[in-house]
Amino acid sequence: MAESVAASPEDVRLLRALQVAPRASFAAIAEALGLTEAAVGRRYRRLRADGIVRVAGIVDPGALGQSKWLVRLRCRPGSVAAIADALAKREDVSWVALCAAGAEITCAVRSRSQEQRDDLLGRQLPRTAAVLDIQAAAMLRQFMGGRGHYWAALRGTLTPEQEAALGAGGEPFTEAPVVAREPVRLTPGDERLLAVLAEDGRASLVDLAAAADLTPGRAARRLRTLLERRAVHIDVELAATALGYHAGANLWLRVHPSAVKTLGRALAQLPEIAFAAAVTGPHNLHAVAHCRDLDELFEFTSDQIGSLPGLQSMEVSPLLRHVKQAATHLSGDRLA
């Protein structure tokens, strides 16, 4: 913890501006925040170098017609670190954390083909000798996380006028089926464009056009189409510890079926919740919470989560070590 990097109030304002408009120019952000363009550029580059923020284009397999899964692995003692690191290296595994005092791994599987998913869940993991048990849950509805609906901890950092200047409010977040009824078909040019975005979600239209062999104008139109069809979203990944949140936890909730949507939407409004989704299995809601310490986690789960109507039971599993976040590895408490 002594090496942790803390974000200043001005840093947090910039981070919120990026949440609102992740591809906005430094000039547009500077005008909204009342800063100079050079100051915004320097601050952003420092935040990236310090591992506090990363902007990346994340392909959504649901838009391509593939389901998304949350997987819990119970492993033999002493084996979890190696298995977690191996999972984190896979492109189709987007979130990896060690939980339950190091005996459990939680990961999100976002395979872009059924064959890729079946190979991981049906063959590779079951054949791993150190894996004692596998629980896989399909995601049914996402309430928090991903396109246009970011972690609410930074809400209120900017004034409504500043957010409006950056374009907030133009397209509100709307729930949609996790698996698109009309899947997007990506072209080879799309794949090259998305590969550049995966490295840098703020890549210029000139760079995107060069990768996809398009003009900048056509690249802009194609990117807009891919964003509108949810094939990709520009993700602003944050190091929670830099914002003062040192206690993370998986929340596995059992909720009355009639209350799943209401409770999921209520979770999405809580600043402590970074992700929430309805899933299959014995726990029909899953969420990830970030609190400042374990005492705040206790108060939050007891008072706010525990009082939600329709909740029948809850399992709180603290995150021992976060290995991968969306598409970015973590080194300690920083984005690598």
Identify the pLDDT of residue 2. Answer: 37
Beta bridge partner(s), residue 75: 131
Whole-number pLDDT of residue 7: 87
pLDDT of residue 1: 36
Contacts of 147 (CB under 8 A, 6+ apart): 60, 173, 227, 230, 233
pLDDT in tens, the chain (336 residues): 335 567 899 999 999 999 999 999 999 999 999 999 999 999 999 999 999 999 999 999 999 999 999 999 999 988 999 999 999 999 999 999 998 777 899 999 999 889 999 999 999 999 998 999 999 999 999 998 765 567 778 888 999 999 999 986 545 566 778 999 999 999 999 999 999 999 999 999 999 999 999 999 999 999 999 999 999 999 999 999 989 999 999 999 999 999 999 999 999 889 999 999 999 999 999 999 999 999 999 999 999 999 999 999 999 999 999 999 988 999 988 998
Where does residue 78 rank: exposed (0-12), middle (13-18), buried (19+ CB within 10 A)? exposed
Consecutive H or E run containing 134: strand 131-144
Burial of 65 (0-12, 13-18, 19+ CB in 10 A): middle
Cβ atoms of 105 and 98 within 8 Å: the answer is yes
The reported pTM is 0.90
Where would I find the H helices in the chain?
9-20, 26-33, 37-49, 80-88, 114-118, 160-165, 188-199, 205-212, 216-228, 260-268, 294-299
CA dihedral 49, 240, 158, 14 (to 10 degrees): 0
How far apart, in whole angstroms, are the C-alpha atoms of residue 53 and residue 325?
A: 11
Q: Sketch out the chain's domains with CATH numbers.
A: 9-61+153-238 (1.10.10.2890), 64-140+327-335 (3.30.70.920), 242-321 (3.30.70.920)
